[in-house]
Amino acid sequence: MAFVDYYKVLGVDKTASEKDIKNAYRKLARKFHPDLNPNDPEANKRFQEINEANEVLTDPDKRKKYDQYGEHWQHADAYEQARQQQGSAGQGGYGGGPQGGYDFSSFGDAGGDFSDFFQSMFGGAGGGGGRGRQARYRGQDYNAELQLSLRDAATTQKQTLTVNGKSIRITIPAGVENGQTIKIAGHGSAGVNGGPNGDLYITFRIADDPQFKRRGADLLATVPLNLYTAILGGDITVDTLTGQVKVKVKPETPNGTQVKLKGKGFPVYKKEGEFGDLYLTYNVQLPTNLTAEQKELFTKLANTQ
């Protein structure tokens, strides 16, 4: 796999703080998000690279391995394990060299080139058969974020993602939660020496909606109500996620009154046909720009109390 410089992907220095990395990620993710570039495969590929770089560089352990081992960072644990085994076994620990062991002295802690070791450990040119190359290692997991609007999350979605150059078609069930993570098995990086592939973890980010606030499977909304309807009662038309409905307002309804529309909320995740409720809060609007006649009528009404 070609080496990817995650710092260059995000446009930050190697000394960048976690906050700087997150800020750079958010800026680039908004720019290259598939929703804003629906017909641009290069933008989609760039978006996946940005997610991958952010996932590695915001994880202190992964970032440390990446800084130390570069393109071989995903095999850092295997390298350290082999090094420890070689140290404990002495000259007879591993087959492959004249004395049966790998020589780690040229790699050390001084940031040397690990390529020779990783080639003989995980395959590539040169080298006879050693025990290390027969070991199987699971591939690295991938992590990605997927942005959805509240209304998108209210319906089952089919989307195609590009991960490591491969297209993956996924189904997103209606009712997915903000911050919820799902696993797509086997779609991480390839395993080593026949080991299993890693998995792909997708975390959903549900954007705030200007009209509805979500609370689990319930929705909350504020509805303007004119003073005359609040006092006299009547019918009003309100929006729901699935269209408009008529609601009967009782006479003398106070400001801040909350009413429930059963089954008009958000779909329940993976429960076909089940929905939460929609809670409406009335915001009574006072009339403005009254005429002299209207003011006189309000004066008469006030004097009757």
Look at residues 76, 102, 134 and tell me which one is the last residue of a structural domain: 134
For residue 81, CA distances in Å to 3, 109, 127, 132, 138 come to 23, 15, 20, 10, 14
> Are the C-beta atoms of 278 and 265 separated by less than 8 Å?
yes
Residue 1 lies in a domain: no
Looking at the structure, do residues 111 and 176 belong to the same domain, yes or no?
A: no
Looking at the structure, do residues 222 and 189 belong to the same domain, yes or no?
A: no
Query: Is the pLDDT confidence value at 290 over 50?
Result: yes
Q: Which residue has the higher pLDDT, 18 or 114?
A: 18
Residue 55 lies in a domain: yes
Query: Is the pLDDT confidence value at 154 over 90?
Result: yes
The model carries a pTM of 0.56
Name which of 33-42, 60-69, 93-102 the model is least confident about.
93-102
> Are the C-beta atoms of 56 and 5 separated by less than 8 Å?
no
* Distance of alpha carbon 201 from alpha carbon 184, whole angstroms: 6
Query: Is the pLDDT confidence value at 228 over 80?
Result: yes
CB burial class (10 A; 0-12, 13-18, 19+) of residue 3? Answer: exposed
Q: Which residue has the higher pLDDT, 239 or 84?
A: 239
Residue 166 lies in a domain: yes
DSSP letter for each residue of 45-95:
HHHHHHHHHHHHHTSHHHHHHHHHHGGGGGGHHHHHHHHHHHHHHGGGSSS
| Banded model confidence at residue 206, pLDDT cuts 50, 70, 90 | very high
| Banded model confidence at residue 30, pLDDT cuts 50, 70, 90 | confident
> Are the C-beta atoms of 117 and 181 separated by less than 8 Å?
no
Looking at the structure, do residues 116 and 185 belong to the same domain, yes or no?
A: no
Residue 108 lies in a domain: yes
* Distance of alpha carbon 54 from alpha carbon 26, whole angstroms: 9
Look at residues 134, 165, 190 and tell me which one is the last residue of a structural domain: 134
pLDDT at residue 214, as a whole number: 96
Name which of 98-102, 143-147, 203-207, 264-268 the model is least confident about.
98-102
Q: What's the CATH code of the domain at 256?
A: 2.60.260.20
Looking at the structure, do residues 128 and 11 belong to the same domain, yes or no?
A: yes
Look at residues 206, 228, 261 and tell me which one is the last residue of a structural domain: 206
Q: Which residue has the higher pLDDT, 100 or 86?
A: 86
| Banded model confidence at residue 256, pLDDT cuts 50, 70, 90 | very high
Query: Is the pLDDT confidence value at 45 over 90?
Result: no
- The listed range with the strongest mean pLDDT (16-30, 119-133, 215-229) is 215-229
Looking at the structure, do residues 99 and 183 belong to the same domain, yes or no?
A: no
Which stretches of the chain are DSSP H helices? 6-10, 18-32, 41-57, 60-69, 76-89, 115-122, 131-134, 150-153, 227-232, 292-303
Domain extent, residue 201, equals 142-206
